[in-house]
Amino acid sequence: MSGWNLGLALPEWILAGCVLAALAADAQGRGEWVRRFAWFGVLAATAAAGLQGLLRLDTGTKLHAFHGRYGLDAFAVVFKLIFGGTSLFILAMSGQWLSRVDRGHGEFRLLALMATLGMFFACSIEDFASLFVSLELITVCFYCLAAFKRNDARSVEAGIKYVILGGLASAFLLLGIAFLYGATGSLEIRALSAHADDLGHAGASLLQFGVLLVIVGLAFKIAAVPFQVWTPDVYEGAASPVTAFLSMGSKAAGFVLLLKVVRACLGPGADAGLRDPDAVRWLGLVALMAATTLLYGNLGAMWQGNLKRLLGYSSIGHAGYALMGIFALSEAGFAAVVYYLMAYLFTVLGVFAVIILVNGATKSHAIDDYSGLGRRSPFLALVLTVGLLSLAGVPPLGGFFGKFLIFRAVVDKGGVLAYSLAFVGAAGVVISLYYYLCVVKRLYMHEPGPDAPATIAVPAPMKAVLWTCLAGMFVLGIFMGPFVALAEEAARALVASR
Amino acid sequence: MLPLLGGVIPDNGPRDYLPVFLLLIVAAAVAASQLLISWLLGPKTKPNPVKDSPYECGIEPTGEAHTRFSVKFYLVAVLFILFDIEIVFLYPWAVHFGGGVEDGVVFATRGALVRFLFAEMLVFLLILFLGWYWVVKKKALDWEEA
């Protein structure tokens, strides 16, 4: 655990170097070079993370760098691949959208690259100071990105709402970290794990309060009730590529950190497995949060006439499902969360790719303007339909299998609480089918409006994104074997790390 | 601290914070008593427009208090905070660079540690200057530019 071991952080070094290089290039006004550095940085860092996973990690090993402040295990590698994939999709999707914006091309890619660096760090953090820094690196970039269309009142409103509420959440998180430092005398997440036995005792209020506040700070990032109010407004106001990045990257980063903190709350015991779940007092709180989150998201989405707003509410609902996986507090539950996020990656980015293209032609996000898309642009309508069905969880798509794993983990847990939560989750799925299918109905069974554009042109990078997402949704729903193995490997590494 | 109250506050309670609570009570009492005394002793006149107008050094108020001013002030303020906070990091580094005192023993930093600390600060400053270069190049500090 001692030693610098600097080479271990190779993906982060690559990203950090590219950030600095892109910054210098942007200062010189060479947008073309910013684009190259961004692409190279994300591609090389993702490849480096993948190679590290293949070459340096055996099953169940964890390597440390920076004197134990940085850890690399299968969990970190899998999430780095998810984040790398997300950023590649975002870079590919933003090209066409940026050509419609007159300024700030360099800044957009620069901020996306920096946010990616933060996400990569978030996978490997081992102490609360790094947790805070990596989370802020991500969030500050998203503050700027949300307000990116600075002449658009909606976008500025989104940015300001996100900045104020995000700042508040960061304050909660910091206060929680301070309480935990006071209770354990150390900033290491490992130290929290050593004190986990006290979490259930009445005397350890400092520790309990600290964990609660940290979870509040992270619940804001994943948009869990009651810290979700910013989501629909920010999703609607921010530019579509930013919303896509926010709904996948920022949410997954919140889950990475939440998983790490929840794992530490379960205490050490790598060999004995996880502790008796009945001893975990705060489980009821997680169940309540999951149930209200998924009900709020799905019920709120029913009334939306704006597709991006609908997806904002649906993203709250999906945070609820993923929280169900955390509620299970088992290796299977954690693996289900990882798999769910993998499937969500292809699904939600595919949907947003269609939204960017349609918005480019109609300048609108209203669901009414999607009428008859199936006749005008059959391929786009197909991707949107498959994406929405995958979000709803219809077999044989990735979203279905992710939900299946989560429900199985919850039901396997047993007990009244778990069964009730699974029931609420099932009700949520039924509700979500209604509003997703309403959109699908509009695509195929409504006449297009009189001023609807005929066929929407799809540029080559977008075509690649759409096909990859379509393929990803089907592969994750049908040939899920290797991906389930990957998710289980990540969950095993998470459980084994103490 | 405060042995007289030792029996009142349980041993596992936050006894060390007791002075803070006492201070809070005293502060509230002082503020309340001043309001009360001025209300009791002061002349009671009915409010009128002249009395309600804001006090501007005895000169008649002109214009709105809420005037619009350039958003550039905001940018400059944010940049100031950023660089100011980054400069703060130099101080603990400078204090510990030459050595320090540990367990009453004075020691000097030497060898590999000096080189490491120096390189660390060079990297930090490089990033800082790159940010500053970007700010200057983006004309964020040009007041005249539209």
| Per-residue confidence (pLDDT) for residue A207, from 0 to 100 | 86
| Domain residue spans of chain A | 272-498
Q: Give percent above pLDDT 90 in chain A.
A: 65
- Count of structural domains, chain B: 2
Which tens digits make up the pLDDT trace of B64-115?
778 888 888 888 898 999 889 888 888 888 887 877 777 777 777 777 778 8
Q: Which residue of A has its CA nearest to B14?
A: A206
Q: Does residue B59 belong to any structural domain of this protein?
A: no
Q: Which residues of B touch A20 (CB under 8 A)?
A: 127, 130
The predicted-structure confidence for A181-200, as pLDDT tens digits, reads as follows 988 889 998 888 888 777 76
* Distance from C-alpha of A223 to C-alpha of A293, rounded to nearest angstrom: 8
Q: CA A218, A224, A230 angle in degrees (round to 5)?
A: 90
Interior angle at CA A317, CA A463 and CA A87, nearest 5? 35
Answer yes or no: is pLDDT of A92 > 90. Answer: yes
Domain around B34: 3-52
Contact present, A367 and A441 (Cβ < 8 Å): no
- Please choose, from the candidates A368, A422, A391, the residue with its C-alpha nearest in 3D space to the C-alpha of residue A315: A391
Inside any domain, residue B144? no
Are the beta carbons of A29 and B127 separated by less than 8 Å?
A: no
Assign B13 a pLDDT band (cuts: 50, 70, 90). low
B82 contacts on A by Cβ (under 8 Å): none
Closest to A27 (Cβ–Cβ): which among B12, B127, B133? B133
Q: Is B130 on the interface with A (CB under 8 A)?
A: yes
Q: Say whether residue B68 is in contact with chain A using an 8 A CB cutoff.
A: no
Rounded Cα distance between A296 and A320, Å, is: 9
Handedness of CA B140, B141, B143, B145 (dihedral sign): negative
- pLDDT given at position A194: 83
Q: What is the pLDDT of residue A269?
A: 62
Q: In the predicted model, what is the mean pLDDT of chain A? A: 90
Q: Given a cut of 50, is residue A378 above it in pLDDT?
A: yes
pLDDT at A78: 95
Q: Which residues of A touch B134 (CB under 8 A)?
A: 23-24, 26-27
Query: Closest residue of B to A206, CA-based?
Result: B14
Q: Which of A435, A432, A464, A434 minimizes the C-alpha distance to A349?
A: A464
Cβ–Cβ contact B127 with A under 8 A: yes
CB within 8 A of A91, min separation 6: which ones?
A38, A39, A42, A109, A112
CA Rg, chain A, in Å? 22
Identify which has the larger pLDDT, A136 or A104: A136
List, for residues A437-491, the tens digit of each pLDDT value: 999 999 998 888 777 777 888 899 999 999 999 999 999 999 989 999 999 999 9
CA distances, A2 to each of A70, A113, A239, B88 (Å): 11, 30, 44, 29
Are the beta carbons of A29 and B137 separated by less than 8 Å?
Answer: yes
Chain B nearest CA to A23, separation (Å): 7
Q: Is the pLDDT of residue B146 over 60?
A: no
Query: Strands A70-72 and A63-65: what pairing?
Result: antiparallel
Interchain pair A28, B134: CB under 8 A: no
Q: Which of A23, A29, A203 sits opposite B130 (nearest CB)?
A: A23
Query: Given this model, what pLDDT does residue B15 score?
Result: 66
Q: What is the pLDDT of residue B14?
A: 60
Q: Are residues B76 and B46 in the same domain?
A: no
Residue-level pLDDT at A498: 64
Count Cα atoms within 13 angstroms, Cβ side, for A192.
Answer: 28
Contacts of B139 in chain A (CB under 8 A): none
- The answer to whether residue B64 is domain-embedded is no
Asked if B12 is an interface residue toward chain A (Cβ–Cβ < 8 A), one would say yes
Give A198 to chain B, closest Cα distance, Å. 16
Mean pLDDT of A305-322: 94
Question: A254-268, B28-42, B52-66 — which one is most confidently predicted on average?
Answer: B28-42
Interchain proximity B131–A23, CB inside 8 Å: yes
Of B12, B134, B136, the CB nearest to A23: B134
For the segment B5-34, the average pLDDT, to the nearest whole number, is: 77
**Interface contact A26-B134, CB threshold 8 A:** yes
> Quick check: A28 and B127 CB within 8 A?
no
* Model pLDDT, residue A58: 76
Which among A24, A29, A203 has CB closest to B130? A24
Q: Is residue B66 one of the residues assigned to a domain?
A: no
Taking CA–CA distances from A26, the nearest residue in chain B reads B134
Q: For residue A489, give Cα distances in angstroms to A32, A481, A492.
A: 39, 12, 5
Question: Which residues from chain A sit within 8 angstroms of residue B130, using beta carbons?
Answer: 20, 23-24
Average pLDDT of the segment spanning A105-125: 94
Comparing B1 with A435, which gets the higher pLDDT? A435
pLDDT at position A273 is 46
Looking at per-residue pLDDT, the higher value among A498 and A167 belongs to A167
Task: Indicate if the alpha-carbon torsion angle A459, A461, A464, A466 is positive or negative.
Answer: negative
pLDDT at B4 over 70: no
In this prediction, residues A384-404 reach a mean pLDDT of 93
Confidence of residue B1 (pLDDT cuts 50, 70, 90): very low
Q: Is the pLDDT of residue A274 over 70?
A: no
In this structure, the answer to whether residues B78 and B27 fall within a common structural domain is no
* Region A251-277 average pLDDT: 77
Which chain A residues have any C-beta within 8 angstroms of a chain B C-beta? 20, 23-24, 26-29, 203
Q: Is the pLDDT of residue A280 over 70?
A: no
Mean pLDDT of A22-33: 91
Q: Is the pLDDT of residue B62 over 80?
A: no
Residue A279 confidence class, pLDDT cut points 50, 70, 90:
low
Nearest residue to A365 (alpha-carbon basis) of A223, A231, A237, A230: A237
> ipTM score here?
0.81
pLDDT at A10 (0 to 100) = 93
Contacts of A23 in chain B (CB under 8 A): 130-131, 134
Could you tell me if B124 and B87 lie in one domain? yes
Least CB-CB distance to A28: which of B127, B131, B137? B137
Instruction: Check if B131 contacts A (Cβ < 8 Å).
Output: yes
Give yes or no for residue A272 having a pLDDT over 60.
no
Which class for A187: exposed (0-12), middle (13-18), buried (19 or more C-beta within 10 A)?
buried
The whole-angstrom distance between B50's CA and the closest CA on chain A is 39
pLDDT the model gives residue A276: 57
